Chains A and B, each alone.
Chain A
């Protein structure tokens, strides 16, 4: 629809070629003008810091030893990639991201299917489902840590006491399964996000085709497996990829629930530590570059998915 507004520079125009070109260039700049402030602002604030990060990652720079600042070559990268802590935190990041995204996508799909039918109180259930996503992440992490996981008077162990009486097991959830504790709290926050995206997908499925299939005698399972699921694929992908981008960067839950202890330090937390406590700027930057490279891999897929949805919308 937008292409209709492109300037008409056909041969019918009664002007010299030079004049035409000048006019077109002026028109181009008039079109670009409203875009430039946003573009320039974003380039300065987001791209320049990354260039600086890249430069510092090749430098020997610790704020505690300001005199030893200098060029370090690939030393920082060698240290980052051979250091046990960093390697552990890379593994933790992958474990955390994969488990949160997988579980919340599967739960989100099941709940979206439940909500994609008319029933009494559907609006209320939908609102209840969205609420966890609207709790400030730090506040949610605090509530999970203190009000739910606490071994003495958290709700989880309280429920165990209700069910099994005075001799109920009272596990210390966070020290027993630190990473799982973080995963559960994040799944609780992110399932609503996945549910919303998948529900939007379910509600855009072609009803007439499904109707026709049903009349032709297709079973509910067949319709789900061969029609609904393929239609949902790009929505599932989009949810998973956007979720991954946010969860790879998660800092709030790790920082609040375990303070990165008990083997739960992920890359963002480790970088924060290296920079904030150890003041090792060179190494923090090298780790940052490693995260960027990892994210670019996910982001390439994410951008491809978004652009396929985008083209579909454009062709509609």
Chain B
């Protein structure tokens, strides 16, 4: 069901052993080098975040400068008194609540598209997907105007609703592919044993799809947490989210490299945790369930 990435696959012999070994070693070295090249910006970000501002701004770079938490202290407002906590909490509220709302809407919908499918269920499924392909920026202005009229600007609930609609198609597709994996025989057996619909869902279906629900939530959480454009246009001081805080933070404070890196680390930490927790199902989520 998941991509078994860790399963080693040894290529059958086709070249003389000595040459094969040398090529193999070379490919391993190349793979490691590429991996290191890709992680360097992240490592550099983390290292710089633990340097003092003077050590962060040297050329050539100082790799072994003493470590300090000043960058983090500055990000949390040690000098200016400006705290990122309200924006971090706003991001958390918007991400968690929109994810909960997404699950509430997506799971019944996925049920109606897999276990007891409606007529033309593939058309419905593709309608969900097509909304994901409409560019966000084209709907931005009407959303702004409507929000302005009903007094929802700078209100975290507006973002919660928008993030729910942004993630709903992904969640419906993912949940459908998980529910479709529940064998019909199991459901029929439960029905023959006299279990009602709710009981079947609770005791038979839920345990089987729980890992899928977890992965879906993590991916929705990541997309909501990362979102900038809506948050930037529709919020101001009250409902500002962490990405918006980051954009304003640099322009208002001039350039503090260690602080910027500390900020990037703090804001990315929840995404890194969620991403690694969902690692096995990441592909399935990102490809909207098209790949397993």
In the complex, how many angstroms separate the beta carbon of B229 from the nearest chain A beta carbon? 5
CB-based contact A153/B129 at 8 Å: no
Which residues in A have some Cβ–Cβ distance to B below 8 Å? 1-2, 4-5, 28, 31-35, 37-39, 41-42, 45-50, 52-53, 56, 111, 114-140, 142-144, 146-148, 150, 152-153, 155, 157-159, 161-162, 170, 188, 191-193, 196-197, 199-201, 203, 207, 211, 214, 219-220, 235, 238, 242, 245, 248-249, 251-252, 255-256, 267-268, 271-272, 275-276, 281, 284-285, 288-289, 291-292, 295-296, 298-299, 302-303, 306-307, 309-310, 313
What is the CA–CA distance of A14 and B16 in the complex, to the nearest angstrom? 74
Contact status of A158 and B139, CB under 8 A, knowing A137-B228, A147-B261: no
Q: Which residue of A lies closest to B2 (CB)?
A: A200
Residues of A within 8 A of B255 (CB): 146
Residues of A within 8 A of B38 (CB): 128-129, 131-132, 188, 191-192
Set B5, B11, B144: member contacting A117, Cβ < 8 A: B11
What is the CA–CA distance of A281 and B111 in the complex, to the nearest angstrom? 41
- Does B236 reach chain A (CB closer than 8 Å)? no
Please tell me which stretch of B77-85, B115-123, B203-211 contacts chain A, meaning at least 4 of its Cβ atoms lie within 8 angstroms of it: B115-123
Q: Which residues of chain B in 91-139 are interfacial with respect to chain A, using CB atoms and an 8 Å cutoff?
A: 105-106, 108-109, 111-119, 121-122, 124, 126-139
What is the CA–CA distance of A281 and B148 in the complex, to the nearest angstrom? 14
CB-based contact A46/B290 at 8 Å: no
What is the CA–CA distance of A207 and B10 in the complex, to the nearest angstrom? 11
In the complex, how many angstroms separate the beta carbon of B13 from the nearest chain A beta carbon? 9
Set A41, A47, A139, A296: member contacting B164, Cβ < 8 A: A41
What is the CA–CA distance of A33 and B290 in the complex, to the nearest angstrom? 25
Which residues in B have some Cβ–Cβ distance to A below 8 Å? 3-12, 14, 24, 27-28, 30-32, 34-36, 38-42, 44-45, 48, 56-61, 105-106, 108-109, 111-119, 121-122, 124, 126-146, 161-162, 164-165, 168-169, 172, 180, 183-184, 222, 225-226, 228-229, 232-233, 242-243, 246-247, 250, 255, 257, 260-261, 263-265, 267-268, 271-272, 275-276, 279, 282-283, 286-288, 290-292
CB-based contact B42/A132 at 8 Å: yes
Among A42, A120, A123, residue most surrounded by chain B Cβ atoms (within 10 Å) = A42
Set B126, B139, B276: member contacting A53, Cβ < 8 A: B139
Residues of B within 8 A of A153 (CB): 56-59, 61, 257
Contact status of A135 and B268, CB under 8 A, knowing A147-B44, A248-B135: yes
Contact status of A214 and B14, CB under 8 A, knowing A114-B31, A249-B135, A295-B133: yes
Set B57, B108, B260, B290: member contacting A310, Cβ < 8 A: B290
What is the CA–CA distance of A262 and B112 in the complex, to the nearest angstrom? 50
In the complex, how many angstroms separate the beta carbon of A66 from the nearest chain B beta carbon? 12
Q: Which residue of A lies closest to B104 (CB)?
A: A37
CB-based contact A158/B61 at 8 Å: yes
Residues of B within 8 A of A170 (CB): 59
CB-based contact B6/A203 at 8 Å: no
CB-based contact B257/A147 at 8 Å: yes
CB-based contact B59/A152 at 8 Å: yes
Contact status of A131 and B272, CB under 8 A, knowing A242-B286, A303-B126: yes
CB-based contact B229/A272 at 8 Å: yes
CB-based contact A214/B180 at 8 Å: no
What is the CA–CA distance of A214 and B121 in the complex, to the nearest angstrom? 42
CB-based contact A146/B113 at 8 Å: no
In the complex, how many angstroms separate the beta carbon of B217 from the nearest chain A beta carbon? 16
In the complex, how many angstroms separate the beta carbon of B135 from the nearest chain A beta carbon? 5
CB-based contact A117/B275 at 8 Å: no
In the complex, how many angstroms separate the beta carbon of B176 from the nearest chain A beta carbon? 10
Total A-B contacts with CB atoms under 8 angstroms apart: 341
CB-based contact A275/B140 at 8 Å: yes
Contact status of A158 and B60, CB under 8 A, knowing A134-B271, A272-B233: yes
What is the CA–CA distance of A146 and B12 in the complex, to the nearest angstrom? 48
CB-based contact B168/A42 at 8 Å: yes
What is the CA–CA distance of A266 and B244 in the complex, to the nearest angstrom? 20
Residues of A within 8 A of B232 (CB): 255
CB-based contact B283/A197 at 8 Å: yes
Contact status of A125 and B31, CB under 8 A, knowing A35-B112, A117-B9, A245-B133: yes
CB-based contact B283/A196 at 8 Å: yes
In the complex, how many angstroms separate the beta carbon of B290 from the nearest chain A beta carbon? 5
In the complex, how many angstroms separate the beta carbon of A188 from the nearest chain B beta carbon? 7
Residues of B within 8 A of A5 (CB): 115-117, 184
Set A39, A118, A124, A292: member contacting B134, Cβ < 8 A: A292
CB-based contact B141/A139 at 8 Å: no
What is the CA–CA distance of A130 and B281 in the complex, to the nearest angstrom? 13
What is the CA–CA distance of A53 and B98 in the complex, to the nearest angstrom? 25
Q: Which residue of A lies closest to B111 (CB)?
A: A34
CB-based contact B290/A251 at 8 Å: no
Residues of A within 8 A of B169 (CB): 42
CB-based contact B60/A123 at 8 Å: no
Q: Which residue of A lies closest to B102 (CB)?
A: A38
CB-based contact B247/A138 at 8 Å: yes
What is the CA–CA distance of A132 and B264 in the complex, to the nearest angstrom? 12
CB-based contact B184/A288 at 8 Å: no
6 other A-B residue contacts (CB within 8 Å) besides A42-B165, A268-B136: A114-B31, A138-B228, A162-B61, A188-B41, A238-B287, A306-B290
CB-based contact A32/B118 at 8 Å: yes
Set B12, B57, B105, B275: member contacting A214, Cβ < 8 A: B12
Residues of B within 8 A of A162 (CB): 60-61
Would you give 17 A-B contacts (Cβ < 8 Å), ordered by A?
A42-B168, A45-B164, A46-B131, A46-B165, A56-B142, A119-B28, A119-B31, A125-B32, A138-B228, A142-B263, A207-B9, A251-B137, A272-B137, A272-B229, A299-B130, A303-B130, A313-B292
